[in-house]
Amino acid sequence: MDTTNWQGQLRKGAAELVILAILDRGEAYGLEILEHTSKAGGVVSEGSLYPLLNRLERDGKLASHWNLDEGVSHPRKYYRLTEDGRRLLGELRQVDVGVLGELGRAHEGLSTMEEIVLRKSVQIRRISPSSRRPSSVRR
């Protein structure tokens, strides 16, 4: 079985979730987002970040503006979540909690990809311990 496509789709979904979760904390420019994603297991590369940001903006999930910060020689494009982006993040978090809970129960030993998604994206998520989990995931 060729798992390349499956892994790519899993990474793509994790990347979108991580970017939206980072921007849920407040606006940020591209390199700043990339630095935060590296703390989340490197689920986003520089080559995939900007196309993903552009798609999310085109789809109305993000808004942006240019700003010339003090001490910087060139303007930076800052991104922030729109209301549609916040709604999507909430939906992804609910799906993520359900899927990750099932993966965690199904596998005692986790592979590298599962560890990235399970351990790193969970750290970014700001979910109270039981209030947002579907009943099938509560412990």
Could you tell me the CATH number of the domain that includes residue 41?
1.10.10.10
CA angle 111, 115, 121 (to 5 degrees): 150
Output the pLDDT for position 56: 97
Determine, yes or no, domain membership for 136: no
Into how many domains does the chain fold?
A: 1
Determine, yes or no, domain membership for 137: no
Residue 59 lies in domain: 4-124
Q: What are phi and psi of 79, to 5 degrees?
A: -115, 150
- Measured between alpha carbons, how far is 38 from 68 in angstroms, rounded to an integer? 25
pTM (2 decimals)? Answer: 0.68
Output the pLDDT for position 86: 96
Residue 60 DSSP class: T
Tokens of 21: 């979760």
CA dihedral of 130, 42, 53, 7, whole degrees rounded to 10:
-80
Determine, yes or no, domain membership for 36: yes
Closest by CA to 37, choosing from 20, 11, 18, 10, is 18
Question: At residue 103, what is the residue type?
Answer: L
Q: What pLDDT tens digit does each residue of the chain (139 aa) get?
A: 677 777 777 777 788 888 999 999 999 999 999 998 887 677 888 899 999 999 999 999 999 999 999 998 999 999 999 999 999 998 888 876 566 565 555 554 444 444 444 455 444 444 433 333 344 443 3
Determine, yes or no, domain membership for 138: no
3-state DSSP of 69-132 = CCCCCCCEEEEEECHHHHHHHHHHHHHHHHHHHHHHHHCCCCCHHHHHHHHHHHHHCCCCCCCC
Determine, yes or no, domain membership for 104: yes
